[in-house]
Chains A and B, each alone.
Chain A
Amino acid sequence: MSRRVKFEFRLYVATDAQNSVQAINNLRAFCHTYLPERHEIEVVDVYKEPRQALADGIFMTPTLLKLAPLPTQRIVGTLKQTQTVLNALGIEGFAS
């Protein structure tokens, strides 16, 4: 995968729920490590934007949506298992 590809993420959180806060931190750390300079994170609070959450079919929080590159993908949870996230996003190889 080309190093120039930019990753766009949308993270749905439930205001300040513990797992949501963890997810935000985990995602930021993850991007800092594996996708430096080529990521964009949009954090959406389901309580503030329920319509958008409904449109995206969000039922659990936190949920991470990978909007780009295609295909879109979603991961639920605090994203604490880095390897799982790497595999899911297809960025393996950078783990080591």
Chain B
Amino acid sequence: MNTIPAAKAKAVNKALSGIAGFDEITGGGLPRGRTTLLVGGPGSGKTIFAMQFLVHGAERCKEPGIFVAFEERPDRIVANFEGFGWKLAELRRKKLFFLDAEPAPDLIQSGDFDLGGMLAVLGAKAKEMGARRIVFDALDILLTLLPDDTTRRREVYRLHAWLLASGMTGLITAKDDDGEASATSKQPFGFMQFMVDCAVVLNHRVMQGVSQRNMRVQKYRGSAFDENESPFLIGKNGFEVTVSRQLGRGILNVSKERLSSGVARLDTMLGGGYYRGACVLITGLPGTAKTTLSGAFAEAACKRGEHTLFVSFDAESNEVVRDLASVGIRLDRQIKSGQLRMISARTVTGSAETFLVRIKAFAKEHRARCIVIDPVSTWSKSGDGNSTHSVAERLIDWSKAEGLTLFCTSLLDEMSSPKRVGTAIQISTLADTWIHLNYLEQAGERNRSLSIIKSRGMAHSNQVRELVLGDAGVTLADTYSAGGEVLMGTMRWEKESAERVAAEVNEVAAQLKRVRLDAEEAELEVRVKSLQVELEAKRVEKVLLVRTAKSREGELSRDRTHVEGLRGADAIAPVRKGKR
């Protein structure tokens, strides 16, 4: 519980550098009011780092800054940095001050001297403009003017003491030609590294012909920091350090939302589609329709209105668009509407790090929610295996942190056995959903098959399906198994048509039976009718019979009365109750 105030207090003691990644490594930037030493070889990006620190302070943190240039004239520095889109010329009027401290080439020395003059000038200037940040760029140049180590040491101490007293956040850059190892032992940087509160080392190596820049925080007094080497890049917006997500940096937002794969039956196989924010990996041999599945996913994403980034490593974007149009995936429309952005990046243009940073930048720029990388395995060609693996890890990590759905394809080596499917950069273990595409050679045919190797957190089909590419798009055919084998292609077709014939025969038989039953029914109905008529006749006959009998009886009694009357049998006629 008490970690929160601690973290807050920590941030207060730091000055944000504005360098993506560096502020995360150090937990908030450079030590505020203290001195940081930045050591690196020529062209390692020291000046850019320093300038970005100042620009960020002046623009975002209301901390005006001073840049003391020992190596280059300020005008040239300003011109050099135009390319990064930093408004140095504008900032220079008020918030940034450049001190041209390049030693005059004709400087004559006679006897002992010190930096008092410069510090006096800077002190006055800092007070005047309220500077909070200061950079001494290429201090080594100044130090070479000093006659001996004792003097150098003394002047560095003087500078350091002045910096501390001024309360400004200081950054001193110094060249280091021999690499990091000797830097600690070499004078005067050796003792500088002990003196300062924070030391950062930049290096620039070439690994297997691919340039790789790394930075490492060597020390940071009173603060936790990531002590590993972190790759960085000098991009069009300046310095950018790539960092892996650190433990406890917050809980991921896990989504239960399902995203369509663009292939209806594949969605069914996955029980609804991929999860949002998942990492989907498609592996397969060349030509197994990995790109097609990528395209289907991208198109589905665009149709949902989600901005999508499609990075194609081995083919030009136009080619991909054309090829996918042949199977009914119309990416051109999505590009036109601005939903889809396609980038073609041939592997030769840089290290895996570079790609990662670029992909991140593009994704940010495009506000992408889905990213397709086809194929991610090309990375294994650039740089050594370790670094590409870590890049892939960071890519997944980053996309998860951002809630992006990542769709990667990976080419499998043709030589590797199908039992041992694994990707070159081993991201298969990190992927949430892994779909494997393969060829099934059967009865003289090659047919594409699709199977889901894993899909975390969802019920998924265990069947191997046949992937059918047609003009109308991608479909998964029903599977037929015979004798434990899944049938595909022509064999599936044969099986399908055999079933169709059988179904027709059944249909006809059923119809015949219905007709016969109809006839029988009609016949019975007729019989029922005639019997009913007969019944009616009998009823009528019965009624008639009753009536005749009655009338005859009536006739008889009337006759009897009449006869009795005639004979005068009774004086009074008998009472006939029924008559009234």
Contact = CB atoms under 8 A, between A and B. Distances in A.
Interface of A: 12, 14, 17, 19-20, 22-23, 26, 46-47, 50-51, 53-54, 57-63, 73-81, 84-85, 88
A78 B113 contact: yes
A50 B120 contact: yes
Interface residues of B, number: 24
B118 A74 contact: no
B108 A60 contact: no
Interface string B111-153: 1111111101101110000000000000000000100000000
B120 A81 contact: no
Most buried by B among A26, A60, A88: A60
B108 A62 contact: no
Interface stretch (B99-107, B197-205, B395-403, B516-524): B99-107
21 contacts: A12-B117, A19-B113, A19-B114, A46-B121, A47-B123, A50-B120, A50-B121, A51-B124, A54-B125, A59-B117, A60-B114, A61-B115, A63-B113, A73-B106, A76-B108, A76-B109, A77-B111, A79-B111, A81-B110, A85-B110, A88-B110
B113 A76 contact: yes
Contacts of A73: 106, 108
B117 to A, nearest CB: 4
Interface of B: 99-101, 103-104, 106-118, 120-121, 123-125, 145
Contact of B112 (A51, A59, A74, A77): A77
Nearest to A81: B110
B120 A84 contact: no
B472 to A, nearest CB: 76
Contact of A84 (B100, B104, B110, B112): B110
B112 A78 contact: yes
Given A14-B114, A60-B118, 19 more contacts: A14-B116, A14-B120, A19-B114, A20-B116, A47-B123, A50-B120, A60-B113, A63-B113, A63-B117, A75-B108, A75-B109, A76-B108, A76-B109, A78-B113, A79-B111, A80-B112, A84-B109, A84-B110, A88-B108
A44 to B, nearest CB: 10
A14 to B, nearest CB: 3
Contacts of B106: 73
B549 to A, nearest CB: 151
A22 B111 contact: yes
Given A50-B125, A51-B124, A61 B117 contact: yes
B110 A76 contact: yes
Contacts of B113: 19, 60-63, 76-78
A32 B124 CA distance: 34
B439 to A, nearest CB: 73
